[in-house]
């Protein structure tokens, strides 16, 4: 089986201070790799490297296409606590065309919990969230079956994050278990680069290798084409 992914649903520009590419540089690489759509999902406050909150208002002034590739302006939200509350505030979440919600250690007040199932169940209830970001991080284990089932029922996607294979290398085993459970329970996923440099835009090779290895069904991957991904977002009420 060979899966083709035309959408990168999670990328950073140098507006997140620990990333390096301008929008133009990222989109040029996306065009070279023949992607159809890229989501710009910079960190939000209070993440230490996030841009000012105004970024998430003015980003709407960016064009819909750069270098011929569709650009969606979103954010990578921070999960704040065990209730699944996230930043930024509703006003800025409403602006975002796509919302990835991730646990980042500097922003997560309940990181000492032994089990983070409750946290993810709270996040899933948030109507603005589309994608549960890099949840395979072994520092925050959760009951995979319970969370995948809830995500499926609420129309959320679980992200298989390629960047985890390099910076959170102990995530690999969890990513596989999560993907296997998504396959078993028919929960949608997205496969993302989480690129922090232009050269990594569209780089999903490690995640894809795992998905092909477990014979993951292509119909459950929501970002194979721009059309499918936009349909997925529209079903959750995004006006795109």
Give me the residues that bind Zn ion (CB under 5 A), please: 76, 102, 194
Question: In the complex with Zn ion, which residue's Cβ is closer, 68 or 106?
Answer: 106
Question: In the complex with Zn ion, which residue's Cβ is closer, 141 or 217?
Answer: 141
Q: Is the dihedral of CA 111, 116, 121, 127 positive or negative?
A: positive
The answer to whether 106 and 214 have CB atoms below 8 angstroms apart is: no
Closest residue to Zn ion: CB criterion = 102
| Minimum distance of Zn ion from residue 79's CB (angstroms) | 10
Q: Are strands 131-133 and 69-79 parallel, antiparallel or unpaired?
A: unpaired
| Minimum distance of Zn ion from residue 127's CB (angstroms) | 21
Beta bridge partners of 162: none
Question: In the complex with Zn ion, which residue's Cβ is closer, 136 or 188?
Answer: 136
* Closest residue by Cα to residue 73 from 106, 44, 107, 34: 44
- For residue 97, what are the CA distances in angstroms to 45, 134, 186? 18, 19, 25
| Minimum distance of Zn ion from residue 187's CB (angstroms) | 20
67: phi > 0 → left, psi -120 to 50 → alpha, else beta; which?
left
Q: Are strands 69-79 and 86-87 parallel, antiparallel or unpaired?
A: antiparallel
Question: In the complex with Zn ion, which residue's Cβ is closer, 19 or 220?
Answer: 19
| Minimum distance of Zn ion from residue 186's CB (angstroms) | 26
| Minimum distance of Zn ion from residue 43's CB (angstroms) | 7
The answer to whether 163 and 195 have CB atoms below 8 angstroms apart is: yes
Question: In the complex with Zn ion, which residue's Cβ is closer, 36 or 137?
Answer: 137
| Minimum distance of Zn ion from residue 219's CB (angstroms) | 26
CA distance linking residue 163 with residue 152, whole number of Å: 24
R_g of the chain, CA atoms, integer Å? 16
Question: In the complex with Zn ion, which residue's Cβ is closer, 2 or 105?
Answer: 105
């Amino acid at each position: 089986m060979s899966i083709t992914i035309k959408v990168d649903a999670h990328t950073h520009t140098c507006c997140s201070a620990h990333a390096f590419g301008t929008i133009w540089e990222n989109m040029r690489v996306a065009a070279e790799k023949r992607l159809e759509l890229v989501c710009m999902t910079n960190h939000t406050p209070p993440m230490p490297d996030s841009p000012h909150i105004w970024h998430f208002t003015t980003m709407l002034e960016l064009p819909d296409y750069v270098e011929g590739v569709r650009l969606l302006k979103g954010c990578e939200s921070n999960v704040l606590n065990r209730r699944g509350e996230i930043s930024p505030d509703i006003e800025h979440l409403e602006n975002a065309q796509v919302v990835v919600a991730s646990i980042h250690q500097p922003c997560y007040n309940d990181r000492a919990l032994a089990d983070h199932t409750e946290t993810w169940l709270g996040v899933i209830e948030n109507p603005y969230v589309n994608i549960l970001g890099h949840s395979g991080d072994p520092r925050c284990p959760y009951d995979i079956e319970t969370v995948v089932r809830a995500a499926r029922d609420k129309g959320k996607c679980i992200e298989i994050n390629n960047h985890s294979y390099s910076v959170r290398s102990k995530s690999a085993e969890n990513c596989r278990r999560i993907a296997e459970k998504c396959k078993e329970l028919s929960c949608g996923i997205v496969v993302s680069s989480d690129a922090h440099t232009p050269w990594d835009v569209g780089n999903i090779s490690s995640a894809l290798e795992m998905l092909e290895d477990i014979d993951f069904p292509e119909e459950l991957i929501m970002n194979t084409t721009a059309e499918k991904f936009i349909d997925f977002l529209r079903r959750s009420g995004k006006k795109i």
